Amino acid sequence: MSPVVSLAMPFFGLILLGFAAGRWVKLPEAGLAWMNFFIVYVSLPPLFFKLVAATPFEQLTNGRFIVMTTLCTVMIYFLSLAMGLYANRGNLRDSTIGAIVGAYANVGYMGPGLTLAALGPGSSVPTALIFVFDSMFFFSIVPLLMAFGAGEKVRFLPMAWLVAKRIFTHPFNVATFCGVAAAWFKWTPPVAVDTILNLLKGASAPVALFTLGVTVALRPLTRVPGELPFLLLIKLVVHPALVFLVLTNIGGIEPIWVTTAVLMAALPPALNAYVMARQYETYVQRASAGVLVGTLVSIVTVTALLWLIAEKKLPGL
């Protein structure tokens, strides 16, 4: 158990350190804005760029892996949506945000740091691919369902423009696309630029994890939805189990890619659940509770999965 604890505890320790700081240190919440800006626009994009740019281009076009992992996310989202519709008596807007808690893993802040630490450089490409295509799905489905839930008439061109803008201007996606282009042209940045990118890449994981802990600590736990245990069961157990079953049964996927996808699926709900809830002014307190409780519970579930991976207990891998 020691190697797993040595890996998991520093990782979750940074989250808990941020959580403790957020609870005990009385600093204005507005200060998080610059930290979030640094993470989203400055440090994590170089990480995604470096991961993808260093990969042979042919590995970036694994259509079977992209389709299967995204399909799993879609299935889990609609399972969570059905659960939410039942619990919320058909309220589509609340259920749309609730389903994010059950399906949208924290693949941005937590994914790259954990997969690279646990699985090594071979996990870099599947990590980036899952982030990009999961983001495309959520940036597409959420505005559409929220419009339906509000009784709005969905106009195709404005909706398509909104979705495309969110997909193609997200800093992580832009960095990934640039990394794909660099891999295609076999381009490497100048030494000085590359040094800056490496410094920012190294800062991304610890700052993101600490900020995640602070952000979760500052979200009030005032209303826990009755469907939350079921949503977290779907997110933390059913989602990774489904990814494992699908990828191991279709064949032709490298074991490191399968393991990466399972680990990414096992991550707790993304902060985007809370961000989107605030954006649409619905399910806000319950989304906050989902992110907080899900992150804390994942300390146990993700550590258990890391042990299964380290001990080679996952059948067929």
The candidate with the shortest Cα–Cα distance to 51, out of 105, 130, 104, is 130
pLDDT of residue 301: 95
Question: Collapsing DSSP states into helix, strand and coil, what is residue 105?
Answer: strand
Q: What is the pLDDT of residue 153?
A: 67
pLDDT exceeds cutoff 70 at 154: no
Whether 134 shows a pLDDT value over 70: the answer reads yes
CATH of 2-23+30-310, one of 1.20.1530.20, 3.90.550.60, 3.40.228.10, 3.20.20.60: 1.20.1530.20
pLDDT in tens, 279-301: 788 888 888 889 889 988 999 99
pLDDT at 236 over 90: yes
pLDDT tens digit string along 238-261? 999 999 999 999 888 999 999 999
Extents of the domains making up the chain: 2-23+30-310
Instruction: Share the mean pLDDT of the chain.
Output: 87
Torsion sign over Cα 102, 316, 114, 187:
negative
Torsion angle of C-alpha atoms 192, 195, 201, 206, degrees rounded to 10: -130
The model's pTM is 0.85
Burial status of residue 60 (CB atoms within 10 A of its CB: 0-12, 13-18, 19 or more): middle
pLDDT of residue 27: 83
Contacts of 276 (CB under 8 A, 6+ apart): 97, 100, 142, 287
pLDDT at 225: 75
Which of 37-46, 49-58, 154-163, 205-214 is predicted least confidently?
154-163
Q: Give the CA radius of gyration of the chain.
A: 19
